[in-house]
Each structure stands twice: as structure tokens, then as C-alpha cells.
Amino acid sequence: MTYQRFFSHAAAQMRESAIRKMGTLGTRIPDLISFAPGYPDPATFPRDRFQEIAASLLSGSDGSTLQYGPTRGFRPLVEALDSILLSRAIVSRFEQRLITSGSQQGLDLVAKVLIDPGDAVLVELPTYAGAISVFSNALADMVGVPQEDDGIDLAALDHTVARLRREGRRVRLLYLVPNFQNPTGLLIGLDKRRALLDWAERADVLIVEDDPYGDLYFPDSATAEETRPIKADDHGGRVVYLSSFSKTLAPGFRTAWVVAPEALAAKLEIAKQATDLCTGALDQRVVHQAIVQGVLAGLAPHLRAHYQAKCAVMQEAIERDLGGLVTCAPARGGFFLWATLPPQVDADSLLPRALAAAVTYVAGGAFFVDDGGANTLRLSFSQPTHDRIREGITRLAGAIRAELEAQSTPSRDNGISVPRG
Ligand SMILES: Cc1ncc(COP(=O)(O)O)c(C=O)c1O
């Protein structure tokens, strides 16, 4: 029996995430070096501390540890966000905060509360693929706005909104990842952040600011001040701010948070009630203890140095093996390098050749809502070791050179065989 006729309109057009698909593929190829997923390095997880905290929580003295909890979140955790938010210059009240099961759920709740089918949602070109999935499941019509070196192009933003409104379209949302964007690593400049707030006011649009990477600036090339969230200067209540413990403590806790104007936070809470009732009680308590015991604060400088070193290794390897062939802006934080291939090389078509060489990445097209980015790719340096990063780039360089060679001597057999494992 086929089930197509039972599907909702939303389900009928749902597509598997390109990144998750790459993850599944990878498990079948022996010795694969994957630059695909934006996973933190498990070597950074403070397991011993988590073990102590969890053991104490599970000792049985607190009956609520394994119980349902409030939808807003475990109150001490919601309160403990104070110090984190203040360190990012965000002043907020308890009523404006909500704990979510990952920022991914935060995005999904925002879409449930703010988007009607057919609404235009403004996104960067390129943008986070997980947000594309959320907005597309909400049956939004995503409209891409190009980036400049210091972030989204404000003039293009103005033109786009004016055009959409002339066409009678409803535009109420702009989605941004201002700090070390997934996928490009781009940091939006401080002047532009302020200009975006003015723009949001003028255009009567809300900004959804997604900030999982702000803490992970590289000390040699960026400062904490440069990561100041747009939300920090949001006096008009224009910004819904999302952040997460996934890239710092561990994604397995699925613990993240939203800060929104009070009326919006209340709606998000109602939407969350129907989604999961509450985020995991044990997870929230472990994360809370990791904050109050100073685990998170102690970890942050180490993480910055750790990922900075990995990024430098990848950049050097690209320079050595792919210099002159691939352009790649240096990253100043986060997990990603964004590479542009020669125009005639399509990153999707290159993939079988890369997999045959046991290396993988995410083809850039997954991050574009306008069919652009065919010759771009996202390389995540966060997970592999230094040696594996070097080896992976050598393999990738071999695949790109072989592709260029095949293009210059066309034949019917492309000579690619993907190893099976
Ligand atoms: C920009 C961005 N937003 C949201 C998420 C989802 O994070 P979480 O693990 O908190 O759901 C990610 C994860 O890669 C991300 O890169």
C-alpha cells in the first residue's frame, strides 16, 4: 500500500536533510573522512564532570529529577541563563525566556507561531539548512537575500521587501545567523547589526537571530565584542534570539533556549506544550549544574583554542593542496569553512568522486533557497583530528583534480567506483 494519498500538504513536500543523508551514506564507506556534519568534537565533552553531576542527580534525593517539569523549563536553569545572557549584553526577564529541546525545536516553534502557509520568509543566501527544513515544513515561501563580506546586503534586503509587498505578499520574518554562520562562517559586522535593527523597525519585520556559535570565536582573529548579538540592542522588541548548549557542552542534552518579547515567549510556550510538554528533566538539571559549578565557563576558552587550531590546520591544508584551485575565506570562529570551486565544477556531481576517495562534505546547494551555490561546499573542521583533516583535504584535492581532468578529456566512462562497506 502506498501512503501518498494520506499525507498532509506539508508532509507531501518534506525532504530529507542533505546533511543527515550524508551522515547515513558515510557509515557505509570504510575509512571515510567526513567534513559533512557540524558536530562538536566528542573529545571536548567533559565526561567526568557530567558523570559526577548525573550520579549525584540520580542518587534519588530529588524526586523531580526524572519527572515531567514546567514547559518553560527547569526554573533554576532558566534563571541561570542570566549570567550567560548578560555576558552577551542581553538583558531579559524570566518571562521572556523558554528552554527548548535544541535550537532546532526553537526554530520549529517560531515557525508554528509566526508563519502561515504562503508567507514570505527572508533568509540569507546561503543559510542554515535546518532552518530551510523548518520553514519549508511550515509551507513558507523562502526568499533569499545575498551576502556581502560583512553580512547580508541591506540594499538588497530593502529591494526584496519592497518588491514582495508590491506583489501583495506578507513578509514578517528575517532569519539570520550573525555569528560564524552555518554554512559560511561569516560574522555580521557590528554596524550592520545596528542597521538591521533600524531596518526591522522601518520594514515592520521581526528578526529571528540564531546564535549557537557566538561563544566559539577564535582568540587570534575575533573578539567577544564582535559577537555582540543583535538582541543586545533590541529596545523595540524586534528580535527573537535563540542559542544552545549543543556546540559547547554537548548536543546530546538537546538543551537550548529562546529569548523573545514576553507575549511571543508565552505563545512559544503554548506551542511547545503541544510538541513535547517539556524538555528532558535530567538533561536540564545536568546543564544547570554544569553552569553553576563553572564547567561551562571553564570549558569555553579551551573550546575556542581547540577549534581555532583545527580550523588553522584545515586552512593550511587547503592552501597546500588546493591553493589556486579553490577559494576559501578564513573563518574567525565556529565550525565551518566555505569553499568555492572552479565555476565548471558542480559540488553535487563531484560527490561520487569524493566518496570514492573516502572523503565527504556538504554540497553548497543544500544551503541555498534559489538553486544557487552549485560550485560551493561546506567543510566542517570541528570533528576530525588534525591528521585526518590533512589527509581528508589531500583526498578532496585528488578528487577535484580528477574531476577537472575528466572534464577536459570527456569520455563515456567517468571511471568512478564508490567503495562498498
Ligand atoms: C545555525 C544553527 N541553528 C540551529 C542548530 C541546531 O542546534 P541544536 O543542537 O541546539 O538543535 C544548528 C546545529 O547545527 C545550527 O548550526
Per-residue pLDDT tens digits for 291-320: 999 999 999 999 999 999 999 999 999 999
Q: Please indicate, yes or no, whether residues 380 and 306 belong to a single structural domain of this protein.
A: yes
Grid coordinates of 166: 508590491
Nearest CA to ligand 1 atom 13: 38
Per-residue pLDDT tens digits for 274-286: 999 999 999 999 9
| Residue 363 lies inside a defined structural domain of this protein | yes
Q: Please indicate, yes or no, whether residues 271 and 359 belong to a single structural domain of this protein.
A: no
Q: Please indicate, yes or no, whether residues 360 and 232 belong to a single structural domain of this protein.
A: no
The residue among 247, 277, 295 that closes a domain is: 295
The residue among 262, 295, 328 that closes a domain is: 295
| Residue 127 lies inside a defined structural domain of this protein | yes
Question: How far apart are alpha carbons 59 and 63 in whole angstroms?
Answer: 10
| Residue 420 lies inside a defined structural domain of this protein | no
pLDDT of residue 421: 38
| Maximum pairwise Cα distance, the chain | 72
| Residue 417 lies inside a defined structural domain of this protein | no
pLDDT above 90: residue 67: yes
In terms of C-beta density within 10 A (0-12 exposed, 13-18 middle, 19 or more buried), how is residue 351 classed? buried
> How open is the CA angle 111-166-128, to the nearest 5 degrees?
30
Question: How far apart are alpha carbons 340 and 329 in whole angstroms?
Answer: 9
Phi, psi of 391, deg, nearest 5? -65, -40
Q: Which residues pair with 34 in a beta bridge?
A: 360
Tell me, in angstroms, the distance from the centre of ligand 1 to residue 210's CA: 8
Count the domains in the chain: 2
| Residue 418 lies inside a defined structural domain of this protein | no
Tell me, in angstroms, the distance from the centre of ligand 1 to residue 235's CA: 26
| Residue 195 lies inside a defined structural domain of this protein | yes
Length of the chain: 421
| Residue 53 lies inside a defined structural domain of this protein | no
Tell me, in angstroms, the distance from the centre of ligand 1 to residue 197's CA: 23
Structural domain containing residue 319: 4-45+298-404
Question: How far apart are alpha carbons 308 and 331 in whole angstroms?
Answer: 9
- Find cell 543559510 and name the residue: 127
Tell me, in angstroms, the distance from the centre of ligand 1 to residue 77's CA: 20
- CATH number at 166 reads 3.40.640.10
Per-residue pLDDT tens digits for 236-286: 999 999 999 999 999 999 999 999 999 999 999 999 999 999 999 999 999
Q: Please indicate, yes or no, whether residues 322 and 252 belong to a single structural domain of this protein.
A: no
Question: How far apart are alpha carbons 152 and 125 in whole angstroms?
Answer: 8
Residue 348: name the closest of 330, 327, 372 by CA. Answer: 372
| Residue 372 lies inside a defined structural domain of this protein | yes
Q: Which residues line ligand 1 (CB under 6 A)?
A: 38, 102-104, 128, 130, 177, 182, 210, 212, 244, 246, 251, 256
Q: Please indicate, yes or no, whether residues 259 and 337 belong to a single structural domain of this protein.
A: no
Phi, psi of 301, deg, nearest 5? -60, -35
Q: Please indicate, yes or no, whether residues 12 and 85 belong to a single structural domain of this protein.
A: no
Q: Please indicate, yes or no, whether residues 90 and 202 belong to a single structural domain of this protein.
A: yes
Per-residue pLDDT tens digits for 128-178: 999 999 999 999 999 999 999 999 999 999 999 999 999 999 998 999 999
Q: Please indicate, yes or no, whether residues 304 and 290 belong to a single structural domain of this protein.
A: no
R_g over Cα of the chain: 22
pLDDT of residue 122: 98
Q: Please indicate, yes or no, whether residues 226 and 371 belong to a single structural domain of this protein.
A: no
Q: Please indicate, yes or no, whether residues 247 and 283 belong to a single structural domain of this protein.
A: yes
Q: Please indicate, yes or no, whether residues 240 and 361 belong to a single structural domain of this protein.
A: no
The residue among 240, 273, 295 that closes a domain is: 295
Per-residue pLDDT tens digits for 4-42: 899 998 888 887 776 666 666 666 889 999 999 999 999
Q: Please indicate, yes or no, whether residues 212 and 143 belong to a single structural domain of this protein.
A: yes
Per-residue pLDDT tens digits for 374-416: 999 999 999 999 999 999 999 999 999 999 999 988 665 555 6
